[in-house]
A and B are shown apart, each in its own frame.
Chain A
């Protein structure tokens, strides 16, 4: 039995028949960033990117690429070129120069005790 499957026929390649194709750098379909919404009303989370010829097909292919192994209720795709981001050199933008731990969630941990402490000093509004 001679298979029609090229993976089997590939065992005897005819090198003379192979024509080389030279691609220019970046000569490929544009990329899209894919976001998955796991529950209704939930955040859309970035899960990765893919190549696609247009936004419609980006959605079609994103479904199998990124939404088949876990819960998903909606997909977003965004052309990669539409996204702006800060450069790695600007990472220090995000480092506070003074202690700002009060802005972090644990900054509010003892609010209840602190409130209790001053409760008896509160004057009822007249």
Chain B
């Protein structure tokens, strides 16, 4: 049981950890001061969520959150490739589109987890929902606003969507041993979560011309395997930068 639980928690936590880190790379670079503050705050929330998920494992006698985040074998990470992607040339349309696609998935995920039969997870999901409510409000307000804005804004969002589309769908790749987790009542099947995600985002993206059909299998292939230990080509650089400070003084008390 602990092994399956670890698989589930690490997938949840690692997504949050690197989403928080990638969003945080925007600190000081946001389009305007007000948005910089809001987005940095969201980044901080996501990192906090990761810590809270790791803590569930810590409470079972496993490693501490810092050990999971900073001192783990890089091969043992299970984050989706969507959150590992860099900020490329720092186009804010990409940041917002990733934020939108990811937080829609997180909203669906948290809703499902509040009904989890694994109580610590259900309790945590309920606690995280208040922050998630804000993330979703922030994401969808921006996407709807920019989607109806200038031609340039629309063009940039389209490019961002095309870049991120297969990665976002790959968020719902089934976890190893997922049937056992579903059987235990921990989570609903990934396919159910994916359907809910589609019914959440399609009505928003379609009227502003930003919806498109699911990626083909060929488009999806290179984004898969994340939950089985396949890291994206960006992971090594991400992890080196992420652990730069903690590695400089491994035994420091932060």
Q: Which residues of A contact B (CB under 8 A)?
A: 1, 3-7, 29, 50-54, 56-57, 60-61, 63-65, 68
**A5, B34: Cβ atoms closer than 8 Å:** no
Binds A, one of B46-54, B83-91, B170-178, B216-224: B83-91
Q: A60 contacts B86, CB within 8 Å?
A: no
Binds A, one of B24-32, B64-72, B97-105: B24-32
In the bound complex, residues from chain B placing their C-beta under 8 Å from that of A61 are 34-35, 37-38
Known: A54-B145, A57-B145. 16 other contacts (CB 8 A): A1-B237, A3-B241, A4-B86, A4-B87, A4-B88, A5-B25, A6-B90, A51-B33, A51-B34, A53-B145, A56-B141, A56-B145, A61-B37, A65-B37, A65-B38, A68-B41
Interface residue range, chain B: 20 to 34
Describe A's contact surface by its main secondary structure. Answer: mixed
Interface, chain B (partner A; CB < 8 A): 25, 28-29, 32-35, 37-38, 41, 86-88, 90, 134, 137-138, 141-142, 145, 237, 240-241
Point out the residues of chain A lying under 8 angstroms from B237, CB to CB. Answer: 1, 4
Supposing A52-B34, A64-B37 touch, asked if A1 and B240 sit within 8 A by C-beta, the answer is: yes
Label chain B's interface by main secondary structure.
helix
Q: In this complex, what residue of A is CB-closest to B35? A: A61
When A and B form their complex, which 7 residue pairs have the shortest distance between CB atoms, in order from nearest? A64-B38, A61-B34, A64-B41, A50-B34, A4-B86, A61-B38, A60-B141
CB <8 Å contact, A7 and B38: no
18 A–B contacts from the bound complex (CB under 8 Å) = A1-B240, A1-B241, A4-B87, A4-B88, A5-B241, A50-B34, A51-B33, A51-B34, A53-B145, A57-B142, A60-B137, A61-B34, A61-B35, A61-B38, A63-B38, A63-B134, A64-B41, A65-B37
Residue of B nearest to A8 (CB): B241
In contact, A57 and B141 (Cβ under 8 angstroms) = yes
